[in-house]
Amino acid sequence: MILVFGQTGQVARELAARVPEALFLGRDAADLSDPDACAAALRAAAPSAVINAAAYTAVDRAEAEEDLATRINGAAPGAMAVAAAELGVPFVHISTDYVFDGAGTAPFAPDAPVGPLGAYGRSKLAGEEAVRAVGGVHAILRTSWVVSAHGGNFVKTMLRLGAERDSLSIVADQVGGPTAAGDIAAACLKIAARLAADPGKSGTYHFAGAPDVSWADFAREIFGQAGLDCAVTDIPSAAYPTPARRPHNSRLDCSSLQAAFGIARPDWAESLSGILRDLGHTPRP
């Protein structure tokens, strides 16, 4: 039996669509602000694999709540990793492009130096380090720009704003790979199964949709596919001030995931059309 931390989040919901028989622990059953309770819930469930799809994901709010974000994104995954290692079962943990500083234009490899720009990135990095330090069978899967038909994400924000406005100003100097939560869920399941058979594949991997684009170009494709008449103006990050700094270069080198697990970068435009279909938008003819 697979145990999933998370129930209402984007990736958790897509896992539920693929493995409804898994055990999903929501906030009521396992609050990540109580790491010991998460470890206890894991031990009690005695699963064959664990996927952590829950996290503190409010990037700007984290600047004012770093201690809480670090307990949820740092200490809780560490406690889960300890309990999973005790049981000898694979632990798949999801992390983020925001652990990097975003310098340059080259894709970041999994072993590239980290340097988070904000509290959310630091809290996620703390989780990675805690999971790695345990040394159990694990995969840390860094992904980026997660979108789906559920929950809050950039696609849903653009559909809402694009229906209300004739034009939007969107940052064009942040570039990365939009990634559908459904594609992440499928990757996590494949990784968990392979790790059980081949624990030597433990490590840190990257997974993001292709090709890399700016948020502005991503918005244009969303409006194009959804048939919304909303012009997009490119702006620099400096013209869109936010509490948290975000990396300019979020490109992730995903080649080691392909080599170890045979998982390719999905075409995000294709995944986007599935999301729009789920949301009831007529696809572009």
Task: Choose the contact partner of 59 out of ligand NDP, ligand TDO, none; CB within 5 to 8 A by kind.
Answer: ligand TDO
Q: What is the DSSP string of the chain?
A: -EEEE-SSSHHHHHHHHH-TTSEEE-TTT--TTSHHHHHHHHHHH--SEEEE------TTGGGG-HHHHHIIIIIHHHHHHHHHHHHT--EEEEEEGGGS---SSSPBPTTSPP--SSHHHHHHHHHHHHHHHH-SSEEEEEE-SEE-SSSS-HHHHHHHHHHH-SEEEEE-S-EE--EEHHHHHHHHHHHHHHHHH-GGG-EEEE---BS-EEHHHHHHHHHHHHT---EEEEE-GGGS--SS---SB--B--HHHHHHH-PPPPBHHHHHHHHHHHTTPPPP-
User: What minimum distance in Å lies between the beta carbon of 56 and ligand TDO?
Assistant: 9
Task: Choose the contact partner of 253 out of ligand NDP, ligand TDO, none; CB within 5 to 8 A by kind.
Answer: none
User: What minimum distance in Å lies between the beta carbon of 196 and ligand TDO?
Assistant: 27
196-225: which residues touch ligand NDP (CB under 6 A)?
none
Query: For ligand TDO, which is the closer residue by CB, 95 or 225?
Result: 95
54 forms part of the interface with ligand NDP (CB under 6 A):
yes
State which residue has the least CB distance to ligand NDP. 9
72 forms part of the interface with ligand NDP (CB under 6 A):
yes
State the number of binding residues for ligand NDP (CB under 6 A): 26
56 forms part of the interface with ligand NDP (CB under 6 A):
yes
Whether the CB-CB separation of 253 and 212 falls below 8 Å is answered with: no
Q: Tokens for 244, please give them.
A: 């948290």
Query: Which residue of 4, 6, 134, 195 would you call a contact of ligand NDP, by CB under 6 A?
Result: 6
User: Which residues of this protein are in contact with ligand TDO, per CB under 6 A?
Assistant: 57, 59, 96-98, 144-146, 154, 157, 168-171, 174, 215, 240, 246
Active-site residue flag, 56: no
4 forms part of the interface with ligand NDP (CB under 6 A):
no
Query: Which residue of 2, 3, 4, 12 would you call a contact of ligand NDP, by CB under 6 A?
Result: 12
User: What minimum distance in Å lies between the beta carbon of 173 and ligand NDP?
Assistant: 18
160 forms part of the interface with ligand NDP (CB under 6 A):
no
268 forms part of the interface with ligand NDP (CB under 6 A):
no
- Residues with catalytic roles: 120
